[in-house]
Structure 1
């Protein structure tokens, strides 16, 4: 049942060879829980999945992201639910399904999750989720683009134009879109002689590195110091930013980047 999505219908268990007597015994001994008529769940099933089943729906959009192993920039204040019928109070409700999930799963298919995100979330948040799936090789931009045709999906297609599959982390997507928004020419994950692969090279002269938690480790600090020196020797400028700076002070980050580029005639 865990492999099937933490839940199963009585009919599914019967088809798998479990008799009604075995199912009743499992319920009695709390090996499984009868969540509602015809639907059984494991006792340790995640609460958000159980809530989705109770609401007769499936988690989708940003609420399904982590269940699919995708990057999620911000956790939603209100859960997102795919539900064909009913009000589903307390949820952001999505009605359309593009690639349906079969069975009692409490999470929409990866395709539906991404397509709902494209049509619902702010640009950066949607781009982060799609970039994650593309980077993992689990979908393609062509597949998604073909499922958002027409004028009403113009915003979704614009998000797809922001995805290139080069990021190693969600915050790199945030940084890339920030620099693109200012019209800065950039190369991502570019290898420079004597330095190695850098996160971004802006206008051919400014290296921007995005520091994660690993950059606080002594071994990584020494490696970063070497790369910093190599960058200067190679004639490049260098700026480093962490998650907090890009998420909470993007205007300051962009102002500093533009100031450095302007001072060196990069713009």
Structure 2
């Protein structure tokens, strides 16, 4: 490869544009490098070091587009280079940048760009044209060196684009990690009145605002712990005992009963089981009864679990 071109690639992390290359080498040098396979054109006027693309072909074989064959971060940078300073990572791609959902191979890169920018979608690249958009505050932030739309907007925009089975997870994780709040996401949702599946997103935000912090807790809220005869229960109730801070999944404060919703994986492991037993014993010394429901029972027998919850609460009130 031409030494000047190779130095330019090294300085820019294996990525360059035609405009950048034209500042230091004539067009024939760029064309020659491309013909020799030293450069790979992944988008109009956007090139990457061919060696990086070859290394990624083991996981992106055959018929996928040139952009799809790149590692995720290089793929995102190439898309932004095509955006030429007008774009920010958006939707599902922004969730990847925010660390709340890994974008799987084969899923297109999503960019937000201003309406009227003249840019258009390409294979494995989806552009969302937004009126008044600018890849800077308040619409976007710089995260790890690249412009990314604000997390709340990304969560809203990505909602109808994600597979149904994994749709709630990024929002739940973002709230659990303290990156946002249900109220802030709800404010972003207000700016998208025509969003597909809007009612489902509002329902999940209601559950998170009520204190649910996992898909299983959302299920329990909807199918077990609300409705006729069920008293007001606290979600993720915080207590501190003997220097330890604990959170109760669902807590009946008057009856002093902590209902724990055990997931299908972690709570079945021997080490976690021992931790749970010690925690439950400590709470028993304080007069708090711990009742655990396994994932399987909650999902398959919600009516029976609900009846047991009501019976336990009645028993505690009567002192039996």
TM-score (norm 2): 0.53
Structure having the higher Rg: 2
Q: Distance in 2 between matches of 1:134 and 1:82?
A: 23
* 2:24 alignment partner in structure 1: 19
Shift of 1:254: 3.1
1:30-69 to structure 2, matched below 5 A, reads 33-41=40-48, 42-43=52-53, 47=60, 50-51=67-68, 61-62=91-92, 65-69=95-99
> How many angstroms apart in 2 are the aligned matches of 1:96 and 1:128?
26
Distance 1:224 1:206, change over 3 A: closer
Q: Look up the match of 1:225.
A: 277
Go from structure 1 to structure 2 and tell me whether the alpha carbon gap of 1:173 and 1:241 turns closer, same or farther (over 3 Å shift).
Answer: same
CA distance in 1, matches of 2:21, 2:237: 51
Classify the secondary structure of the residue corresponding to 2:189: coil
Does residue 162 (structure 1) correspond to residue 207 (structure 2)? The answer is: yes
The gaps in structure 1 that reach 5 residues or longer are none
Relative to 1, partners in 2 of residues 1:147 and 1:257: Cα closer, same or farther, differing over 3 Å? same
RMSD after superposition: 5.2
Structure 2 counterpart SS, 1:191: strand
Query: Does structure 2 retain, via aligned residues, the 8 Å contact 1:208–1:239?
Result: yes
> How many angstroms does 1:129 deviate by?
1.6
Contact 2:109 2:124 in 1 (8 A): no
**TM-superposed deviation, 1:88:** 6.7
Shift of 1:61: 4.0
Gaps (5+ residues) in structure 2?
Answer: 1-8, 69-74, 114-118, 137-144, 227-232, 316-320
- Who is 2:246 aligned against? 197
Q: Deviations over 1:140-180 (max 9, x none)?
A: 5454433333753552444433334967xxxx421221122
Output the CA distance in 2 between the equivalents of 1:71 and 1:227: 31
Q: Are positions 1:173 and 2:214 aligned together?
A: yes
How far does the alpha carbon of each residue in 1:208-241 deviate from its partner, in whole angstroms, 9 at most, with x for none?
Answer: 1435755566544332221233344534132153
* 1:130 CA displacement: 2.2
Instruction: Say if 2:279 is the partner of 1:260.
Output: no
Higher relative contact order (CA 8 A, sep 6+): 1
Q: C-alpha offsets along residues 99-140 of structure 1, whole Å, 9 cap, x if unaligned?
A: 6658xx999635453121235558885443223234444445
